[in-house]
Structure 1
């Protein structure tokens, strides 16, 4: 249980970081919509930047969702258990990616299936 409090702290810290990034991206995306662009080159650059920011925004939202799921799993005392094989996830993996849902072996299987 003590180890779960370490992971919970990691997750909460990362959640705060992501929320800051998401808020910043929201403001940037709103700013792009209100731009008064007169040249095609500026419009193209602005559009590309906006698309990149939107993709980052989507990825951050997904990570935030996974973090919230991991925090819920800690509450339910199911944290650190692979959702596929139901074996414990290596603590070293959880230190690197505290919101991991799968052990390394199952993650590799999922990646192979998605190719």
Structure 2
């Protein structure tokens, strides 16, 4: 990956990072607001717990994405961005435009997914 393209990916990564941090803050505040203090009855409590559970799942997924973004930004700084962690070949630019924190090229990603399905 040439250095002159990295600024495009860095901007995309930083923009997404900012979005995620805002969403995480919003979810944190919503979960706090859903505390049992506001709950009127058992039905409300159950609904509140389900909402909270869904929000926590979303929160964890976003935290995972945020960590992947941090790794990608570090790779840009180190000059290793855009290299597949499995085969060490360059990751297709189109793939990086769609998922700028991709760790693997398409071929390796498919191999990993097939392995995961075979293990189940």
Q: Which bracket does the TM-score occupy, shorter chain normalised?
A: over 0.9
Quick check: 2:36–2:45 contact (8 Å CA) kept in 1? no
* Separation in structure 1 between the aligned mates of residue 103 and residue 37 of structure 2, nearest angstrom: 41
Match of 1:30 among 29, 32, 43: 32
Quick check: 2:17–2:66 contact (8 Å CA) kept in 1? yes
Q: Counterpart of 1:102?
A: 104
* Separation in structure 1 between the aligned mates of residue 37 and residue 56 of structure 2, nearest angstrom: 16
Aligned-partner SS, 2:14: helix
- State the Cα RMSD in Å: 0.9
Q: Which runs of 4+ in 1 moved over 6 A?
A: none
Q: Deviations over 1:51-92 (max 9, x none)?
A: 000000000000000000000000000000000000000000
Give unpaired runs (5+ residues) of structure 1: none
What is the TM-score of this pair, normalised by structure 2? 0.92
Give unpaired runs (5+ residues) of structure 2: none
* Separation in structure 1 between the aligned mates of residue 49 and residue 69 of structure 2, nearest angstrom: 30
